[in-house]
Structure 1
Amino acid sequence: MKNFVIYINQAYKDKTAIYDLLEELKSEDHLNFYGIPSQQEILPPDIHILESDKTPKIDCVLVFGGDGTILRAKNIALRTKAPILGINIGYLGFLSETTLGELKSSLRDLLNKKYRLQERMLIQCQLRRNGSIIYKDLALNDAVACKAEMPKLIGVRIFNNRRFVFDTRCDGVIVSTPTGSTAYSLAAGGPILSPEMKAMVLSPLNPHLLTVRPMVFPSTDHILLRIHNLEAPATLQIDGVNCSPIEENDEVAITAAKQTVQFVKLSNRTFYQILRRKMHLGK
């Protein structure tokens, strides 16, 4: 490995510590570091900016931040076809593999091929209105159809492979990947899935019926959310970002994406060890 893209949480205050460490690694191991155009203003001048017509082969995407920063970096990984290594400088860092203090030894392991790659599924989300697709995107964590700023429930009819499942009034519905099963879906009472599984979790948000529960569907299925009885604005969120307003009778179609994202795995810590340490599982 030689060429690395860096992506940084712009709100992080001590960026100098990151740049000093990168400069040290660059001189010691003859590594090349690249940034993306949208972060050019916060990067030091000796870090190259990726150009669309002159993109070198990128070996890894180094993401400095928390889980939200990693989610925003998925497009870089898809564009470069390079795996993500998360360096936690955030709060929880559930998706991160290392820390800033451990980065030097972590990169040495990378250079010495002491790592493995873990593939994680994405979901393709389409917002449809009157038969036309008005918005689409890929999600690493989840797609959420939910109420916006007004405290009004929304109606959601749920279909699986064109077959009716149930209808509910609720604050919204989350459809998550196994990676996203430990995020918003978990907070809504959804189950935890191993990140290497191929499945989708549907978790209603505060349904107004005791009988409505989270459900797990195979990754080969097609999920459709049809929104109705809107009394106030609703919105579509992809990986925690409001992407598009939802109107009456809009449909949110969700399937497993053909693309996947790879994560660098350096340690022998299991998924369940991480759950116990960071989520306090069983304590």
Structure 2
Amino acid sequence: MAVARVGLVVHEGRPEALAAARVVRDWCDTHDVRCTDIDVWRAGEPRHRAKEELDAAGDPDLIVTLGGDGTFLRGARLAAENDALVLGVDLGRVGFLTEVPVQDVGLALDAVHEDRVTAERRMLLAMRASCPLEVPEDMEALMRYGRGPLLPPPCVRPECKTGGGWGIALDATALNDVVLEKLTRDHQVSVGVYVAGRLLASYSADALMVATPTGSTAYSFAAGGPVISPRAEALVFTPVAPHMAFNRSVVAAPDEPIALRLLERSGLAAVSLDGQLRGVLRPGEWIGVYAAPRPLRAVRLGPTDFYGRLRERMRLTDAPAAAADGEAAPLWPLSTPAPPDLEHLSLPPVQADAYPLL
């Protein structure tokens, strides 16, 4: 695709990200492409809704993120608003989302501009709620932790000011997860969890989350949830420190919504999307989480070796007894074409880190 407008999301606290941003701006100047910094945290100013950011940037068709997975999530929030492509430049340590080493950012922009890339579809989560979400005035000071201002609560979509028993549709998406969690250490949340319209169980827990396959390697993984290929489509429900015997994750089909209703005996609960506090629920209120009708489109420059990255980034080690067998050979040879009965399968590239930039 010929890039006309670039939105740039930068991790301002990392010198290498600032240096890479200069490379992106120089590339845009050379190719007569408008480049605008977006989601900038200015002192004393609130953060803006995705539509406001994109309108100010001239509706960019490519979002470039310079940082780790957290920065990529910031860019994904914006790209999801107008179906822009998002290109993640890797400056993180344990990231699964970013694609391009920082030294190759100029080559990656060339590849996008010359349409030598593919758009990988990543499932997003959307939300309905029993009422508009709000953040109490005193919450911002408690939740900052040096991370910058909070995002505003998601607004109600214009076409759905009232939703009756179906709730109201919120203008919010999540790439990783939607989390309902307790606000104080001494009081767990009590939540009725519904899957595909039926009550699964009522939980008392520190938190309950609904994750995408992309988010299965984030908070859900830390809470004991399963690792799911990002190419899959599913909703993963995982309780965090539940006070009950059934503490397993539940993997639902993409067309099976998951609803979380705060029970009357519960305290207040925070609603977070991709790690960002977006509102507070009171007893009796609920949120419904479901697959968004439109996925995120992430730039990929070649085949993605997700399982190789999983082994590397999570530093997986082999059992001592298995390691005694020596270095493991590939199950199938990757240096020759696949036989007919395997041609339909997705197998890793011959070189896991190779991508066709040149």
TM range (shorter): 0.7 to 0.9
Output the CA distance in 1 between the equivalents of 2:21 and 2:118.
26
Aligned residue number for residue 238 of structure 1: 273
Q: CA deviation at 1:169?
A: 0.9
Q: Secondary structure at the match of 1:73?
A: helix
Aligned residue number for residue 47 of structure 1: none
Matched, 1:179 2:181: no
Gaps spanning 5+ residues in structure 2: where?
Answer: 44-52, 132-163, 319-358
Please report the TM-score for the alignment, with normalisation by the length of structure 2: 0.69
Q: Secondary structure at the match of 2:271?
A: strand
Matched, 1:249 2:284: yes
Q: Secondary structure at the match of 1:114?
A: coil
Q: CA deviation at 1:251?
A: 1.0
* Contact kept? 1:179, 1:193, Cα under 8 Å: yes
* Contact kept? 1:228, 1:248, Cα under 8 Å: yes
Gaps spanning 5+ residues in structure 1: where?
Answer: 43-49
Aligned residue number for residue 2 of structure 1: 3
- Alpha-carbon displacement from aligned partner over 1:54-87 (angstroms, at most 9, x marks no partner): 936x442111111111112123213442211101
* Contact kept? 2:39, 2:74, Cα under 8 Å: no
Out of 52, 58, 79, which is 2:55 matched to?
Answer: 52
Q: CA deviation at 1:18?
A: 2.4
Q: Secondary structure at the match of 2:221?
A: helix
Out of 83, 92, 115, which is 2:94 matched to?
Answer: 92
Aligned residue number for residue 146 of structure 1: 181
Q: CA deviation at 1:235?
A: 0.7
- Alpha-carbon displacement from aligned partner over 1:210-248 (angstroms, at most 9, x marks no partner): 322101000111211111254543111111011111111
Aligned residue number for residue 50 of structure 2: none
Q: Secondary structure at the match of 1:248?
A: coil
Out of 298, 303, 315, which is 1:263 matched to?
Answer: 298
* Contact kept? 2:20, 2:105, Cα under 8 Å: no
Q: Which has the higher strand share?
A: 1
Aligned residue number for residue 73 of structure 1: 75
State the identity %.
27
Output the CA distance in 2 between the equivalents of 1:278 and 1:37.
29
Q: For the aligned residues, what is the CA RMSD? A: 2.8
Aligned residue number for residue 163 of structure 1: 198
Q: CA deviation at 1:37?
A: 5.6
Q: CA deviation at 1:53?
A: 8.3
Where do residues 186-205 of structure 1 align in structure 2 (5 Å cutoff)?
186-205=221-240
Q: Secondary structure at the match of 1:145?
A: strand
Q: Secondary structure at the match of 1:190?
A: coil
* Contact kept? 1:150, 1:233, Cα under 8 Å: no
